[in-house]
Chains A and B, each alone.
Chain A
Amino acid sequence: MNWDAALPLLVLASSLLPGLVIFFLTEERVATRTTLNLAGAVLKLMLVGVMIWGVFHGAHYETRLPLLPGLDLLLRADSLSMLFVVLSSILWLVTTVYAVGYLEGSPNRSRFFGFFSLCVTATVGVALAGNLITFVLFYELLTLATYPLIVHRGTDEARRAGRTYLVYTIAGGTLLLVGTVWLYTLSGTLEFTARGFLSGLDATHHWSLVVIFVLLVAGLGVKAALIPLHGWLPQAMVAPAPVSALLHAVAVVKAGAFGIVRVVYDVYGMQFSASLGVTLPLAIVAAATIIYGSMRALFQDDLKRRLAFSTVSQVAYIVLGIAIAGPIAAVGGLVHLVHQGVMKITLFFCAGNLAETLGIHKVSEMNGVGRRMPWTMTAFTVGVFGMIGVPPLAGFISKWYLGLGALDVGQGWVIFILAGSSLLNAAYFLPILYAAWFKAPAGTWPAERSFGRRETAWALLAPPLVTAFLTLALGLLASAPFGLLQWARFITRLEYAP
């Protein structure tokens, strides 16, 4: 096996093998475990760096192993998969640091970090999947790897959330599987191809293809938390903060959204989906999800729950960008895949810090917290402004392109959705900022832990600061050479160029 074929496997192995070893470590071996975790994360990042360099210079990384007669397990680095791989490997490193700090001293850490590594392996597998069956394989693996993380605390509430999560995701996975097999019997191939591989099929199959599209998108929509399939996400926030961060920003929710992009672009093809008439309903579902998620977020007092509903809303931007069926909106959707991840992970890190340091879980307990934890709240503020779409932060870029793209293809109604959603974002986020910075503290915090002169542990503080900085950088440097926008334009050109 040569280097080009081995590299995608190595990228997977860099988190899989440390994960498997960690399972067998005893609780006390903190140093070994942390070293393995960080070494895996850094190694993965380096391998991904090599991969990007190669892809940029025209190398073709592809691993192909026979899985079934006529079907391969195919891992491939293309421009779209690199977008997701880079996002997940950077945020994994950051989240690992955070998780090590967050879980210090709590039980069952070997189990936690083992599944944590499996979870990232599955995410990277989802990103690198070169055909639909490989995608399904890692998508289901992701379900299995995240369940133990959600129920990690073992409380009744956690187990209930885990059960809800399984009911939703296993049902969704089943729909996805049925759609995939059916598609295979019609097309005889499942390999992702720019502009899809189905447009050549006989017109008599078009109705089947519409039904299959619904099956696939419903299966993926469960993880992407499109309404009415979002019910598991607000419950799943009982998980420890690093898990919520990973779930909302990188792993589960993003895998669903990424899958929808794959299905629309590389299975059906943009033009062909539009001609089947499936993109407009998808856009409407996405728009409804955006508004509904924001409305629900308004009324949550639990901070993590509010953030969870905000995720429901924000992830739908990605789907909306794809479903508007225009090249400019598509750029908006794709960059939001990255932007939402970076911004949301910042917010969850901060929420975790508040809970871990001061015992704050509710918005109503946050009065004056900005004075006690200025750095955390600064990061939080950057994340919030990004979410609302204040220039020059990352979220602004997404919304700008989404709006511009919608106008470009004559879908003016989207502007109203975007404006309404920004208003709602402001309505549920700004009161938090106001309370944190300008109201007087209540006196004592619910459960305060002292960290000497620092506001909290380094391992907890550094990650949100890094991701807040990224939020700023992604906005400022969006148009820089080799920046995210160029990248997204490159992907959409494959799909739209004549």
Chain B
Amino acid sequence: MSDIHWPVIVILLPLAGGVACFLWPRRSVLLGLLTALGVVACVAGLGWQVVEQGAQRYAVGGWGAPLGIDLYADGLSLLMLTVTAVVGLGISVYSSGYFERARYGQDRARHFWPVWMFLWTALNALFLSADIFNLYVTLELLGLAAVVLVALAGGADAVSGAMRYLLVSLLGSLFYLLGVALLYHSFGSVDIAILAERVEPSPAVWAAMGLMIAGLLLKTALFPLHFWLPSAHASAPAPVSALLSALVVKASFYILLRLWLEIFPFANAALAQLLGLLGAAAVFWGGFQALRQTRLKMLIAYSTVAQLGYLFLAFPLASITGWTGALYMLLSHAAAKTAMFMAAGNTLYFGGHDRIADLDRAVQRMPLTMTAFALAGISIMGLPPSGGFIAKWLLLEAAIRSGQWWWGGVLILGGLLSAAWVFKVVGYAFTRSEAPHEARAVPATMEWTALLMAVLAILLGLFAPWLLALLEIGSPFNRENAG
């Protein structure tokens, strides 16, 4: 089994699945679910390979860099692929219920499955890319697929959200591409490993770095470049919101992390502090806005803005503990936010609205959905035992160890803000409303997937040592921060 080309299969399988869904739209649900299961199995195969043999470098078609396309899988890539596979499977199962009903009709379902499979292909390819130009291509594909999915909901809201998203996405990729061009021009390669050896500080490199980071920040929606995110994430259909918040914004963060650690390790401390500051601003602004929202999906979208801010706190901390904390935050946020959007989707499906003040009637009749929301909320606010708690602990520890305790203060206050809005919503589960309500039954698969994703976010709090051990395979963190 060790000589199977898992990296290629992991990319080609969802692509094939997408084509199949496109060709046989009537069977698209079945094909999509089968593909999702297959991808999970293949990622497991790749994971086994990486754990057994260490980081894998694979030259597609036998042509190595600088001519051919190289794929590279280390612990970090594997972790991202795993998150994508698990969340992707959850979203596929959820969608099989969500898109099957009258409101969304066969038409929407026909469009959803192929595009979602293409998006998954782009994500897997992105996490396996070994050069910055492939990263560009996959990022662009990812952005386009995501825009289509946002527009899928139909209606003015969704179209304007999608339009804004498209422009931002293109602009972000354009900035990134300019940076790639500058680097290629200066050093004659786009391979990350080669660039890591060659790149030295120079005006062109600074310009490239500035452009690439700006483009990626726009796509990751770091405050104050988050303006497009809430409308896009809130107006999309629930499973799409889930995958945008859980996976798509994380992809550009992943690229940023790779570049920062491998190509620009000389980036100065001031820039790191700036990223940290923007992250802190995002935590406060997102949390504060979330608290003010009157609609559940908008609230969850703003919470994504806040949670993305936490990821950037790792830059000024610049220690292994800090990076692992941020990545663990990414992981547990992916699971928890998926569960939350699914729960919101369920209430919307059930009651036809997501006004927070009128939620009581819906949530009381869907205890599973409510539980999913509450459990996900525990992880989001970082209370134990949950993945969010582990992440918060690691980041706090890194902040105190580095003597920069104020970043710890950001974590703490951000957690309190999240707690405020989570309990604002959860409080409705305990009101005494008995009023009858026109409602549609929610398919059991939708309730159970939401609950399972939330349970996963909680369980992440108990399996940290194993997942963190993955990161040490070909770890990009040790090179400069050996201490």
Q: Is there a chain B Cβ closer than 8 Å to A302's Cβ?
A: no
Task: Describe B's contact surface by its main secondary structure.
Answer: helix
The residue among A65, A137, A162 with the most chain B CB atoms within 10 A of its own CB is A137
- Chain A nearest CB, measured from B477 CB (Å): 13
Contact at B400–A185, with CB atoms within 8 Å? yes
A184 to B400, CA, bound (A): 10
A76 to B412, CA, bound (A): 30
Contact at B408–A178, with CB atoms within 8 Å? yes
A163 to B426, CA, bound (A): 11
Contact at A162–B394, with CB atoms within 8 Å? no
A137 cross-chain contacts in B, Cβ below 8 A: 384-385, 389
Contact among B367, B371, B384, B400 for A181, CB-based, below 8 A: B400
Q: Do A67 and B427 contact each other (CB < 8 Å), given the known contacts A174-B412, A182-B400?
A: no
B401 cross-chain contacts in A, Cβ below 8 A: 185
A67 to B459, CA, bound (A): 11
Q: Is there a chain B Cβ closer than 8 Å to A159's Cβ?
A: yes
Q: Do A152 and B430 contact each other (CB < 8 Å), given the known contacts A67-B462, A170-B416?
A: yes
Q: Do A171 and B393 contact each other (CB < 8 Å), given the known contacts A140-B383, A166-B423?
A: no
Q: Is there a chain B Cβ closer than 8 Å to A430's Cβ?
A: no
A173 cross-chain contacts in B, Cβ below 8 A: 383
Q: Do A184 and B431 contact each other (CB < 8 Å), given the known contacts A174-B415, A178-B412?
A: no
Contact at B423–A154, with CB atoms within 8 Å? no
Q: Do A154 and B390 contact each other (CB < 8 Å), given the known contacts A136-B384, A174-B415, A184-B397?
A: no
Q: Which A residues between 176 and 231 are near B, CB-CB below 8 angstroms?
A: 177-178, 181-182, 184-185
6 A–B pairs (Cβ distance < 8 Å), ordered by A = A133-B393, A140-B383, A166-B423, A177-B392, A177-B393, A185-B400
A343 to B223, CA, bound (A): 55
Contact among A65, A171, A185 for B416, CB-based, below 8 A: A171
Contact at B397–A174, with CB atoms within 8 Å? no
Q: A158-B430, A174-B415 are in contact. List 6 more A-B contacts (CB 8 A).
A: A66-B464, A159-B431, A174-B416, A177-B396, A181-B393, A185-B397
Q: Which B residues between 345 and 382 are near A, CB-CB below 8 angstroms?
A: 367, 371, 378
Q: Is there a chain B Cβ closer than 8 Å to A275's Cβ?
A: no
Q: Which residues of B contact A (CB under 8 A)?
A: 367, 371, 378, 383-385, 389-390, 392-394, 396-397, 400-401, 408, 412, 415-416, 419, 423, 427, 430-432, 462, 464-465, 468
- Chain B nearest CB, measured from A262 CB (Å): 17
Q: Is there a chain B Cβ closer than 8 Å to A69's Cβ?
A: yes
A148 to B432, CA, bound (A): 13
Contact at B465–A66, with CB atoms within 8 Å? yes
Contact at A69–B468, with CB atoms within 8 Å? yes
Size category of the binding interface on chain A: 35 or more
B430 cross-chain contacts in A, Cβ below 8 A: 148, 151-152, 154, 158-159, 162
- Chain A nearest CB, measured from B362 CB (Å): 16
Contact at A144–B419, with CB atoms within 8 Å? no
- Chain B nearest CB, measured from A151 CB (Å): 4
A2 cross-chain contacts in B, Cβ below 8 A: none
Closest to B381 in A: A170
A497 cross-chain contacts in B, Cβ below 8 A: none
Q: Is there a chain B Cβ closer than 8 Å to A450's Cβ?
A: no
Q: Mark A144-177, 1 if CB is under 8 A from B, else 0.
A: 1001100111110011001100100011011001
Q: Mark A64-75, 1 if CB is under 8 A from B, else 0.
A: 011111000100
- Chain A nearest CB, measured from B483 CB (Å): 15
A73 cross-chain contacts in B, Cβ below 8 A: 462
B389 cross-chain contacts in A, Cβ below 8 A: 137
A177 to B390, CA, bound (A): 12
Contact among B378, B383, B465 for A68, CB-based, below 8 A: B465
Contact at B396–A178, with CB atoms within 8 Å? yes
- Chain B nearest CB, measured from A166 CB (Å): 6
B415 cross-chain contacts in A, Cβ below 8 A: 174
A144 cross-chain contacts in B, Cβ below 8 A: 378, 383
- Chain A nearest CB, measured from B5 CB (Å): 33
B371 cross-chain contacts in A, Cβ below 8 A: 23
B393 cross-chain contacts in A, Cβ below 8 A: 68, 133, 177, 181
Contact at A163–B468, with CB atoms within 8 Å? no
Contact at B396–A162, with CB atoms within 8 Å? no
Q: Do A67 and B465 contact each other (CB < 8 Å), given the known contacts A136-B384, A137-B384, A163-B427?
A: yes
- Chain A nearest CB, measured from B467 CB (Å): 11
B419 cross-chain contacts in A, Cβ below 8 A: 166, 170
A456 to B431, CA, bound (A): 30
Q: Is there a chain B Cβ closer than 8 Å to A30's Cβ?
A: no
- Chain A nearest CB, measured from B332 CB (Å): 13
Closest to B375 in A: A144
- Chain B nearest CB, measured from A6 CB (Å): 17
B390 cross-chain contacts in A, Cβ below 8 A: 67-68
A83 to B68, CA, bound (A): 69
Contact among A67, A151, A154, A162 for B464, CB-based, below 8 A: A67
Q: Is there a chain B Cβ closer than 8 Å to A141's Cβ?
A: yes
A185 cross-chain contacts in B, Cβ below 8 A: 397, 400-401
B464 cross-chain contacts in A, Cβ below 8 A: 66-69
